[in-house]
Amino acid sequence: MSDFWADTVLFLPVLLRGLAVTLELTLCALSLSLVLGMVWVVMGRAKAAPWRWTARTVITVVRGIPIIVQLFFIYFVLPDWGLDLPPFAAGVIGLGLAYSVYQAENMRGGIGAVDKGLIEAGDALGMNRFTLWRRVIAPLGLRHALPAMGNSMVMLLKDTSIASTITIAELTREGQLLAISTFKNGSVYALIALLYLAASLPLSALVRMLERKGRVA
């Protein structure tokens, strides 16, 4: 046990540096996934069939390909086509795109739960489509979708570990390098697990709070 505490003092600064990158990657990818998710939802509800087909195709394709394959394609294949992205940008785009389809489904479910009577009331008041979306559908739909979106946020935090495969120096990558150089696998991976847990607990508490507020609403 004394060895573990000694290893903790030695390894923790390096792992905390990796955790900072993990949190930054999570925040950036989450922001991108929410923006793209809303785009897929709007396209999926468009009157023009090509927009709906495009959204459904993107959601089906992205959801059917493992995230690690998407990251490899963005980081290793796109340079062959003239688009050479740094590892962090590739990680943000890959994770953001992968999770955008799940966020789109979360939002779609939330919007589907909006009382149709409220939408009809907005139509009766003469609201145009944009105003109806801005003042009725989007706020109420997002309120219903918040718990599911929060769960996706926790999953995204954990899945940032996949970004270690494209050399992003996040928590898992820093831990791997430590384990290789020190041969202290037990201490290193125990600390990694504890740090992921410490980072996810506040997010889990946030999800529970959102669920309670959603039930009250």
Predicted confidence (pLDDT) at residue 92 exceeds the cutoff of 80 = yes
What confidence score (pLDDT) does residue 214 get? 60
Q: Residue 190, exposed/middle/buried by CB under 10 A (0-12, 13-18, 19+)?
A: middle
What confidence score (pLDDT) does residue 1 get? 59
Predicted confidence (pLDDT) at residue 212 exceeds the cutoff of 60 = yes
Predicted confidence (pLDDT) at residue 80 exceeds the cutoff of 70 = yes
Q: Which domains does the chain have, with CATH numbers?
A: 2-216 (1.10.3720.10)
> For residues 200 and 188, what is the distance between their CA atoms, to the nearest angstrom?
18
What confidence score (pLDDT) does residue 165 get? 94
Q: Residue 78, exposed/middle/buried by CB under 10 A (0-12, 13-18, 19+)?
A: middle
pLDDT in tens, 120-152: 777 777 777 777 777 777 777 777 788 888 889
Nearest to 84 by CA among 188, 166, 154, 23: 166
Of the listed ranges 2-16, 49-63, 175-189, 202-216, the one predicted with least confidence: 202-216
Give me the percent of the chain exceeding a pLDDT of 90. Answer: 58
What confidence score (pLDDT) does residue 19 get? 95
What confidence score (pLDDT) does residue 7 get? 81
> Between 49-64 and 2-44, two packed helices, what is the crossing angle to 10 degrees?
160
Looking at 94-172, which runs of residues are DSSP E strands? Answer: none
- In the structure, what pLDDT confidence band is assigned to residue 215 with cuts at 50, 70 and 90? low
Q: Residue 42, exposed/middle/buried by CB under 10 A (0-12, 13-18, 19+)?
A: middle
pLDDT in tens, 168-205: 999 999 999 999 998 899 999 999 999 999 999 888 88
> For residues 40 and 48, what is the distance between their CA atoms, to the nearest angstrom?
14
> For residues 109 and 114, what is the distance between their CA atoms, to the nearest angstrom?
9
What confidence score (pLDDT) does residue 94 get? 96
